[in-house]
Structure 1
Amino acid sequence: MSLLSAHDLAVARAGVPVLEGVGFALAAGRALVLRGPNGIGKTTLLRTVAGLQPPLHGRVQAAPDAVAYAAHADGVKGTLSVTENLAFWASVFGTASVAAAIDRMNLRDLADRRAANLSAGQKRRLGLARLLVTGRPVWVMDEPTVSLDTASVQLFGDVVRDHLAAGGAALIATHIDLGLDADVLDLGRFRARPAAAGGIRSAFDEAFT
Structure 2
Amino acid sequence: MTLEVQSVAVQRGSVPVLAGVDFALPAGEALFLRGPNGIGKTTLLRCIAGLQPPLSGVVRMANGGAATDEIAYASHADGVKPTLTVAENLSFWASVFGASGIDAALETFDLVELRNRAAQNLSAGQKRRLGLARMLVTGRNIWAMDEPTVSLDAAATANFARVVQDHLARGGSALIATHIDLGFDAKVLDLTPFKATTENAPEFDEAFL
Matched, 1:163 2:161: no
Please show how residues 122-141 of structure 1 align to structure 2 within 5 Å: 122-141=126-145
**Which residue of 70, 78, 88 corresponds with 2:74?**
70
Matched, 1:195 2:194: no
Please show how residues 51-62 of structure 1 align to structure 2 within 5 Å: 51-62=50-61
**Which residue of 145, 151, 174 corresponds with 2:149?**
145
* Partners of 2:28 and 2:96 in 1: CA distance: 25
Partner amino acid for 1:53? Q
Question: Contact 2:14/2:206 (CA < 8 Å) preserved in 1?
Answer: no
Question: Contact 2:71/2:144 (CA < 8 Å) preserved in 1?
Answer: yes
Structure 2 gaps, min length 5: none
Structure 1 gaps, min length 5: none
Helix, strand or coil at the partner of 2:204 = helix
Backbone CA RMSD of aligned residues: 1.2
Question: Contact 1:5/1:61 (CA < 8 Å) preserved in 2?
Answer: yes
* Partners of 2:97 and 2:186 in 1: CA distance: 27
Helix, strand or coil at the partner of 1:195 = coil
* Partners of 2:33 and 2:54 in 1: CA distance: 18
* Partners of 1:206 and 1:34 in 2: CA distance: 28
Q: How many residues align?
A: 204
1:13-63 C-alpha deviation (Å, 9 max, x unpaired): 112111111000001100000000000000000000000000001000133
Q: Higher helix proportion, which one?
A: 1
Between 61-70 and 161-170, report the one with greater CA deviation: 61-70
- State the match for 2:204 in structure 1: 204
* Partners of 1:207 and 1:131 in 2: CA distance: 36
How big is the shift at 1:141?
Answer: 0.3
- Give the alignment's TM-score, normalised by structure 1: 0.94
- State the match for 1:26 in structure 2: 25
How big is the shift at 1:194?
Answer: 2.4
* Partners of 1:195 and 1:6 in 2: CA distance: 21
Question: Contact 1:87/1:98 (CA < 8 Å) preserved in 2?
Answer: yes
How big is the shift at 1:82?
Answer: 0.5
Task: Could you list the structure 1 runs, at least 4 aligned residues long, displaced by more than 4 angstroms after superposition.
Answer: none
